[in-house]
Amino acid sequence: MKAVILAGGLGRRLRPLTNSRPKPLIEINGKPIIAIQLDWLKQNGIFEVILCIGFLKEKIIDFLGNGRRFGVKVGYVVEEEPLGTGGALLNTESLLRREENFLVLNGDVITDLNPSKIGKDLDSHVGALALVPLKSPYGIVDVDNNGRISRFREKPALPEYWVNAGVYYLNPRIFKYLEDKSNIETTAFPQLAREGNLKAVKYDQCFWKSIDVYKDIEEAEKDLKNISEAKV
């Protein structure tokens, strides 16, 4: 299977870190996001990767090259102007139209979810989305029926709400739903949902973090250190 990493964004909310380097090269515990993603793909048996790049693309190419030193095969699709996630993915059509299915990953996501789960039983659906529980940005206070505080929970997951994890399993029919300069999340996916052509796969026990702002870097570093220490 091939994977596509959507890595062409400007990373505005991470400035000034992204003034001189693209978001995929932002380091988490000393390792660039893109390197963490490639390790995750390899661990799950995916060794062919297409990168959709734009902003500061030369730095990504200089870092990854053909992917050989990372143990994968890397190809590039370049957008000369921002196209959004839909337009960027549409640029890969000539490389993926003959694939049975392929994995798509946002370039700012770090996770250990098992992608083989999302690819099971796609049936007639055009694609499947990985979903993770929404994590509260604040601590939660539980109150009993008598108005007494029973406990405090620090930023717990809210299992009744699910968010798009930025990991998709798609087949080439997706290209019929894509447009130039569009975001797949606000155009293609809502249409597929209306048609009943989009499947949800829930992951309630996995690590997942989207690196959007500086605070996310700090939280990801802390969480990954804790996971690493717990394995020792």
23 is catalytic: no
Among 31, 73, 120, 155, the active-site one is 155
CA 213 to chain centre: 15
Q: Which residues contact 53 (CB under 8 A, 6 or more apart)?
A: 7, 8, 22, 60, 61, 76, 77, 78, 79
| Residues present in the chain in total | 232
Report d(CA 61, CA 157) in Å as an integer. Answer: 37
Report d(CA 47, CA 51) in Å as an integer. Answer: 13
Amino acid at the residue 176: K
Report d(CA 200, CA 128) in Å as an integer. Answer: 6
In our burial notation (b when 16+ CB lie closer than 10 A, e otherwise), range 62-97 reads ebbeebeebebebeebebeeebbbbbbbbbbeeebe
Q: Catalytic residues, which ones?
A: 155
